[in-house]
Amino acid sequence: MTIILGIETSCDETAAAVVVDGRRILSNVVFTQEELHQSYGGVVPEVAARQHLVGILPAVERALHDSGVALEDLDAVAVSHGPGLAGSLLVGVNAAKGIAFARGLRLVGVNHLEGHIYANWLLHDAVRGDRSAQRRPPQFPMVCLIVSGGHTELVLMAEHGSYRLLGRTRDDAAGEAFDKAARMLGLGYPGGPAIERAAERAPSRRGHAAPPAAFQLTRPWLRGTYDFSFSGLKTAVLRLAESQRAPVKATGRAPTTRPSDVLGSVPVSGPEQAPLWVTELAASFQQAVVDVLVGKTVSAAAEFRARQIALAGGVAANRLLREQLSAQARAPVICPPIPLCTDNAAMVAAAAYYRLEAGEVAGWDLDVNPNLRLPYTNSGAC
Ligand code: KG4
Ligand code: ZN
């Protein structure tokens, strides 16, 4: 039995967890900084780093307490050392080093993206409220769609630790596109959940109306590649949002020939109060992003005869993406339960277990690497 303390501070969640044999969660503590960054409309790196400093030891203490495991029972300490925000990563790496050094424990440096992938190895029933226990480990070869705030990568995994890059975003990451579109629509931060909630209120999604033709967005297919591009969609949302708002600003009321006639006027903050045109635009944007992510992932899984498809990263929490990928893929789709899609430390401990199995231990000179990549066997996207 290998008991690992995982630590995660790469962005705006201060997290610690205790995991047995890379799969069984004994505790999983996440202190989110969401509220702190909300007023800025995004993560402020220095504020995030300082908040990690405040939260990291309480998070570790709580994780050990909740797990019933004492420091001397641990086998290793694992920590995300990149990619992410340098100042944030430093807090986690230094805390992990201190604990490992003081207790003579092995230290494992984990790639944050590998952590997201290995959230798929964690047993579901350990998460309160989720009854869909999934006991069999994921099967290789596996096509994995990593969709987070900073990354969108389609990867073929032949075995533990073996990654072939099939495609990646050429501009914005999917999560970044959600965050930017949400800001343009006045929906607040973080954008993914806000767009999702707003889209659920769209009359066309609820079967009450046809989707407004003006809001039909072109899908950026980049045919012949497994690459993605989301910046055009973001710009399209901006233009449409401006066209909805401008006449209101000028005349104090909506024009008579645009979708806002029927749907509402200027947006106020938050998905629950958003006017109907915002909900329709959010739904249309979400559908366009999901269509491309699903289309490419399904094709890659077929081409590479994947036995499974895995979703990973914060955007994997998106219900439409989960549903449509499962509905369209031939291979079985696995995805972590929603709380394990966004940043957490259980996924770090899970990835570390397989690194330890392969004999990989970090030295005391472990550094952070804000641009750390997965160790791809090929040099770039096809
Ligand atoms: O993996 P993650 O927690 O942090 C990074 O490693 O970046 O991903 C955060 C991203 C944010 O862009 C957030 O808007 C997005 O994941 N996200 C979602 C949803 N929940 C979080 N995007 C779409 N739908 C969601 N339900
Ligand atoms: Zn992440």
Q: For residue range 33-72, what is the model confidence (pLDDT) as tens digits?
A: 999 998 888 899 999 999 999 999 999 999 999 999 999 9
Mean pLDDT confidence for 256-261: 40
Q: pTM of whole model > 0.75?
A: yes
Per-residue pLDDT at 264 exceeds 50: no
For residue range 115-141, list pLDDT tens digits in order. Answer: 999 999 999 764 444 455 467 899 999
Calculate how far, in angstroms, residue 192's C-alpha sits from the geometric centre of ligand 2.
13
Per-residue pLDDT at 177 exceeds 70: yes
Per-residue pLDDT at 268 exceeds 50: no
Phi and psi torsions of 334, nearest 5°:
-120, 145
Tell me: cis bond preceding 190? Omega within 30 of 0 counts: yes
Does ligand 1 come within 6 angstroms of the Cβ of 177?
no
Give residue 131's pLDDT. 52
Does ligand 1 come within 6 angstroms of the Cβ of 343?
yes
Does ligand 1 come within 6 angstroms of the Cβ of 107?
no
Does ligand 1 come within 6 angstroms of the Cβ of 190?
yes
> Which listed ligand is nearest to 345 at the C-alpha?
2
Q: Which pLDDT band holds residue 208 (cuts at 50, 70, 90)?
A: confident
Per-residue pLDDT at 241 exceeds 90: yes
Q: Report d(CA 264, CA 254) in Å as an integer.
A: 8
Of 309, 375, 300, the closest CA to residue 139 belongs to 309
Calculate how far, in angstroms, residue 78's C-alpha sits from the geometric centre of ligand 2.
16
- The CA-to-CA distance between both ends of the chain, in Å, stands at 40
Residue among 315, 325, 343, 344 whose CB has most ligand 1 atoms within 8 A, to mutate: 315
Which residues have a beta carbon within 5 Å of ligand 2, which is an ion?
Answer: 148, 343
Q: Which is the closest atom of ligand 1 to the Cα of 190?
A: 14
For residue range 361-371, list pLDDT tens digits in order. Answer: 999 999 999 99
Residue nearest atom 10 in ligand 1 by C-alpha distance: 149
Q: Which pLDDT band holds residue 257 (cuts at 50, 70, 90)?
A: very low
Does ligand 1 come within 6 angstroms of the Cβ of 179?
yes
> Token match 């439409």: residue?
320
Does ligand 1 come within 6 angstroms of the Cβ of 172?
no
Calculate how far, in angstroms, residue 256's C-alpha sits from the geometric centre of ligand 2.
44
Per-residue pLDDT at 253 exceeds 90: no
Give residue 125's pLDDT. 65
**Ranges 51-55, 124-128, 234-238, 337-341: which has the least confidence:** 124-128
Q: In the predicted model, what is the mean pLDDT of the chain?
A: 91
